[in-house]
Chain A
Amino acid sequence: MTTLAPEAPYVPPVQEQPDVPVVLTPGTSGPDRLFKLILLASGLIVTVILGAIVLYLIVHSWPALHQSGLGFITSDDWSPPSSFGILGALGGSVLIALVALVVALPVSVATALMINEFAPVRFRNWLTGVVDLLATVPSIVYGFWGLDALSNYLYGTTVWLDHHASFIPLFRTPSVATYGNSIFVCSMVVAIMIIPIITSITREVMSQTPRETCEAALALGGTRWGMLNDVVLPFSRNGIMGGALLGIGRAMGETMAVLLILSSANTLTWAILGPKGLGSISALIGLNFEQSPTITQSALTLAGLTLFATTLLVNLVARRVVSRSDRKKA
């Protein structure tokens, strides 16, 4: 380095006006306040709608709750206007959702793994689109297809399960073995409908798996399945659980498939293969609400409130579980 140039004498800058910093305060000017108010209002509209739903359901279900007391949730005797036991229908909603989940969960996890880890990269986007499309097909089309086609396809399965697997209580049929549109068929349709939900959430969580850990597993000589089993699946366990819960929530609220396929008998039974399985709450409302007298409508609203509360709870827990898995990776 050469010698530095001799330092120039310091000339203070000419100051005609003192330097006043410009105060940048986004969000506090008049128009900004108005803008924030509009935003807040539209956010509140959504909240108000939810509040109104809860309020209206509570107010309109009050007469039935007053009449039956707690009996509505502990009895499965649905014979309005004297008795409003919704345990049968609630049990039906839960049973349909659980059977659907048993089928949908492994299939969804497999699909998520396939899209993320097995399929060629250039098909990945396309396959995600196909799964999304599965979620977009209207539920009435699924229900109609289940009624018209799937119940025929599954007829042999039902007979076979009844003959060979009836040692499992779930597969026992009522004494008169007529197989038809059963909870089993219904659950299969619902399973198809919740597969995209579980798959997309599972896939999203799986794609967050740190690549270095995966590569480390492979570099240590692990097989691909070893990597998936020991790294990806444990990492995304929370996401899978959250996805499963969201699937349950969706399955419990599903109306049209149950309405079309099940001829409902609202007593509690665990025979999923019989023709008269349980209905579900949503199907009960959809079928009977309009023709019913006021007090029965009130009871149906009470059933709706129960369903609403249950799905709300399940959804909140599911979101919490999924977001916890988000936080873990962060």
Chain B
Amino acid sequence: MSTTFEPGPAHRGTPETPASADRPNRRQRIPRGMAAELGGAAASSFALMWLIFAITDPGQSAFGFFVCWLLGFFLIFAIVAWRLHGVLLMKDRLGTVAVWGGSFVALLPLVVIIIYVIIEGSQALFAAFPHFFTADMSQFSGQTPIGTAGMGAAIVGTVEQVALTTLFSVPIAVLAATYLNETRGAMANFVRTVVDSMTGTPSIIAGLFVYLFWVEPRGVNGKSGLAAALALTVLMLPFVTRSAEEVLTVVPGSLREAALALGAPQWKVVVKVVLPTARTGLVTAVILGIARTVGETAPVLLTTSASAHFNWNPFHGIQSNLPLEIYSLIVSPGTNSTKVAWGGAFVLVLVVLTLFTLARILGSSRTGHRSSPWRRLTRQAAPS
């Protein structure tokens, strides 16, 4: 094939270059024959390893066989691809197989865990259906039937503590995000670094801090729903700040400039233009923050305890919550505790999944356009 780049008219469509050579080289999504090569390599590797294992060591574990089979598969597939297509395409195909295989390994646990939670958890959940949500743990002792257990007290605790956490952290987080995004300077950069490093704080440290700062000085009455909410706030605050800041950066600068050009003071620009434009995104950030916070166990480990009884008052006395109740059920002896713990885990995963889905649905409807004044005007002008 000729590789000259001279655009001579005689060159184009000359009889010595067949028409097929000029056809664009379209990339196929799945290279032709790849499925056959893959299947063939897998099958032959399986047969080979079966033979080897049957001769050498019949009592091997399944895992060893699996690993050898995988290695054999790669080797055979590589040789086949190399003989048929050459080195470059061999690398391409091996890379493709590795990428798909790796991502399969990454996403498999999510599916397995969710299925596992549903199977194990539904037993406790539906043993005595509403009872599991309305009762507390006072009738359950590990040996008693699963139906006597109830997560009611834990659910109450989780709801109240997370509500308090949201109340504490969201206003500060939104203001701090505004600060990071709307002002410039060394101080803002410093605060951003602080927020970043707090996002990576081990969650147990948050619990330890609130224990030293709040629980210990108050002695016996120190542990409460409020203490747990404080510990959760230490985690939720930087998380929501960071994601809210990300949301605010998406607000187009032209909106700010337009408002400023009309003579609006900066606080009006933020309150009337920037924050309303980013409203849905901010709500998404908050919901994601809640979803992250609901399941945190380590911070509440030191700041409150699992308890068998309802406590509606988060400001006084030990108040249980879902993750802590699950933890105490896992570590307590008793044949039925584990099943009840899975029931609790089911509820927790359900809550997290619901919040997450809500956030995704809200987040997917982009907000930047909806609040754009041009859109609003044209929509009103439209005859429909």
Q: What is A's interface to B at a CB cutoff of 8 Å?
A: 22, 24, 26-27, 29, 31-32, 34-36, 38-40, 42-47, 49-50, 52-53, 56-57, 60, 106-111, 113-115, 117-118, 125, 129-134, 136-142, 144-145, 147-149, 156-157, 159-160, 164, 192, 195, 199, 223-226, 228-229, 246, 249-250, 252-256, 260, 282, 285-286, 289-290, 300-301, 304, 307-308, 311-312, 314-316, 319
Stretch at the interface among B122-130, B190-198, B312-320: B190-198
Known contacts A223-B91, A286-B204; is-contact A136 B187 (Cβ 8 Å): no
In the docked arrangement, what's the CA distance between A50 and B193, Å?
11
Instruction: List the B residue with the shortest CB-CB distance to A113.
Output: B99
Which of chain B's residues 198-244 have a Cβ closer than 8 Å to chain A? Answer: 198-209, 211-213, 234, 237-238, 241
Q: A301-B208, A311-B202 are in contact. Are A46 and B117 (CB under 8 A)?
A: no
Q: Which of B41-49, B287-295, B369-377 is the interface stretch?
A: B287-295
B153 interface hit (Cβ, 8 Å): no
Determine whether the beta carbon of A304 is less than 8 Å from that of B263: no
Cβ-neighbour of B110 out of A38, A113, A130, A311 (below 8 A): A130
Q: How far is the CB of B155 from chain A (nearest CB, A)?
A: 15
B327 interface residue (CB < 8 Å to A)? yes
Q: Does B326 touch A at the CB level, under 8 Å?
A: yes
Once the chains are docked, how many angstroms separate the CA of A255 from the CA of B301? Answer: 10
B263 touches A32 (CB 8 A): no
Q: Which residue of B lies closest to A228 (CB)?
A: B95
Interface string of B150-172 (1 = CB under 8 A from A): 00000000000000000000011
Cα distance, A44 to B237, chains bound together (Å): 12
- C-alpha spacing A52/B120, complex, angstroms: 42
Are the C-beta atoms of A156 and B99 separated by less than 8 Å? Answer: no
State the CA gap A255–B324 with chains docked (Å).
13
The reply to whether the CB of B88 lies closer than 8 angstroms to some CB of chain A is: yes
Contact B95 A107 (CB under 8 A): no
Q: For residue B266, which residues in chain A have a CB less than 8 angstroms away from its CB?
A: 26-27, 32, 35-36
Question: Which residues, 86 to 132 on B, are CB-close (under 8 Å) to A?
Answer: 88-89, 91-96, 98-103, 105-107, 109-110, 112-113, 116-117, 120
Would A114 and B202 be within 8 Å (CB), given that A29-B265, A39-B179, A141-B348 are in contact? no
The chain A residue sitting closest to B241, CB to CB, is: A46
* Inter-chain contact A253/B297, CB cutoff 8 Å: no
The residue that A133 contacts in the complex, of B110, B260, B295, with Cβ under 8 A, is B110
Interface hits, B307-340 → A, CB 8 Å: 323, 326-327, 330-331, 338
Contact (A50, B179) CB under 8 Å given A110-B98, A114-B103, A147-B330: no
A226 → chain B closest CB, angstroms: 7
Interface on chain B toward A: helix, strand, loop, or mixed SS? helix
A225 adjacent to B267 (CB under 8 Å): no
In the complex, how many angstroms separate the beta carbon of B115 from the nearest chain A beta carbon?
10
Are the C-beta atoms of B205 and A226 separated by less than 8 Å?
Answer: no
- Asked whether A43 lies within 8 Å of B179 as measured between CB atoms, the reply is yes
Q: Is the CB of A256 within 8 A of B107?
A: no
Whether B345 is near chain A, meaning CB under 8 Å from some CB there, is yes
CB distance from A273 to the nearest CB of B (A): 13
Q: Provide 9 A-B residue pairs closer than 8 Å at the C-beta atoms, listed in order of the A residue.
A: A32-B267, A43-B187, A50-B194, A50-B197, A53-B201, A224-B96, A253-B200, A255-B202, A311-B202
Residues on the A chain within 8 Å of B298, using CB: 139, 255-256, 282, 286
Q: CB distance A42 to B176 under 8 Å?
A: yes
Given A35-B267, A301-B208: A149 and B110 interface contact (C-beta under 8 Å): no
Q: Does B37 contact A (CB under 8 A)?
A: no
Residue B193 contacts which of A38, A113, A140, A316 (CB distance < 8 angstroms)?
A316
Q: Does B349 contact A (CB under 8 A)?
A: yes
Binding site for A on B (CB under 8 A): 27, 60-64, 67, 88-89, 91-96, 98-103, 105-107, 109-110, 112-113, 116-117, 120, 171-172, 175-176, 178-180, 182-183, 187-188, 190-191, 193-209, 211-213, 234, 237-238, 241, 260-261, 263-267, 269-270, 288, 291-292, 294-298, 301-302, 323, 326-327, 330-331, 338, 341-342, 345, 348-349, 352-353, 356, 360, 364
Min CB gap B258→A, angstroms: 13
* Residue from B106, B109, B263 in contact with A24 in the complex, judged by beta carbons closer than 8 Å: B263
B188 contacts which chain A residues (CB < 8 A)? Answer: 43
Q: A42 near B110 (CB under 8 angstroms)?
A: no
- A134 contacts B110, C-beta separation under 8 Å: yes
Q: Is the CB of A130 within 8 A of B107?
A: yes
Give the residue of B88, B117, B265 whose beta carbon is less than 8 angstroms from that of A26.
B265
Q: Is the CB of A35 within 8 A of B179?
A: no
Cα(A117)–Cα(B202), bound, Å:
33
Partner of A110, one of B101, B194, B206, B364: B101
- Contacts A46-B172, A57-B212, A286-B207 aside, 14 further interface pairs with beta carbons under 8 A come to A46-B238, A47-B194, A53-B205, A110-B103, A113-B103, A117-B99, A130-B110, A139-B298, A160-B63, A199-B106, A225-B95, A308-B205, A311-B202, A319-B193
